[in-house]
Structure 1
Amino acid sequence: MTAPFHLCKSYILSAPAALLIMALAGCGSGQPVRVLSEGETTINASLGGPIVPSSSPVGFVPYLTAGATHGLNDDISVHGNLHLLMSAFAVGGLDLGASARLIRQDNVIPELTLGARLIGFMKFGDPVAPRLYPDVSLNGSWEIADRTLVYAGAHGTFQWKPGAFYLSPFVGLQFPLSTSFSLQTELIWQASNHDTRVGIFEGESSIGGMGSFGAFVAGVITL
């Protein structure tokens, strides 16, 4: 089965962390909601971001990533992504991680998948050490029809300095368009535990003054 991929983005309000504002827009892209079968490989591309109709001519802040996932065995997959939009700001972005199946779906009991990754960024030509952000996720997914999944879960992203944690719950749907291509859509409340009424976009996409509401779409091709 082609696994869907979930995405997340968090707002950080300090100037040095402006990198993270954009970076975490794609912190879940390419991370499978379900692991792949042993030996299976997929490639994926995702586009989305916080919904800010008053600040963007397209209604959202776009963030683009592309990557691949490979099934090491039937219960563990490894994955990585390039954060392509960051190159426009002379910044290289890459995330690497793995996902593991905790339990299989059993009727109404969802399949549980745990993911962990390290997101890294480095400014081209800058001697400063790369910025690294650990990210973990847990989600439950239900197959409601052949290769069609609904899922819900949350990301937890850590920022070393000043020592912050960002929680981002999400829900999504993945469905096939052909035997090798699937489309996935997702809604996410990014950084739901942080007040975002002051700072970038001044809470335009926040919910009750907290976090940022975003939407994403991803295409996944099974090789």
Structure 2
Amino acid sequence: MSDELMQYLRAVAEVLGEPWRAVTSRRVGEDAALIGPDGGWISVTVSYRAERTRLVLEAWLDSELRPHQPTGMVRPSVTVARARPAAAVGKDLARRLIPDVVELIAAARDLAHRRACDAADLSSVLAAVGAGFGTTPVAGANTVSVGAYGQPLFATAQVLQPFWRSRQRRVRFSIDATVENALAVAALVGERAAADHATPDSCR
């Protein structure tokens, strides 16, 4: 990375305004970067085509938000001529790139928040089921069990995560029991199912 490029990018950052600033490269393959607000940055690479006369500017998310880039949402990028005045490039980026960068960051933060809420909800439900079993689920697990295989009663409850994220709350039970316990469980489930059928959820 040349001092000339850094001076050029500092001038671009001045046009973009605070908190944008030019910094040395943060990842392999980039020549420099423009760091902005809320966990995003714009990677700056000198194109090896056209005799290195163009700059490729591509948005990235930081390590916290990167796993939450929404599916199908493309990281925005633009290509500009190095010969253009920094002031003109800054104005161009403010119009063509920065709004898309802000949108990408906002979408990633929203998805991260929704996933965190789902994970907390999932954990609380599993803890409640575990309490009914008289046991405590392992941190980060999506299953909880009581008893052991081969005992008179062994039951496992599993939170179905893909459905959970789509707001369809489901818990799947697997029960291995002696005949006597199986009959007792069947009676309990039958009573609950009959009660639910008699008083349907008005929100469905």
Give the TM-score taking structure 2 as reference length.
0.29
Question: Which structure has the highest helix share of the two?
Answer: 2
Structure (1 or 2) with the larger CA radius of gyration = 2
Higher RCO structure, 1 or 2 (CA under 8 Å, sep 6+): 1
Higher strand share: 1
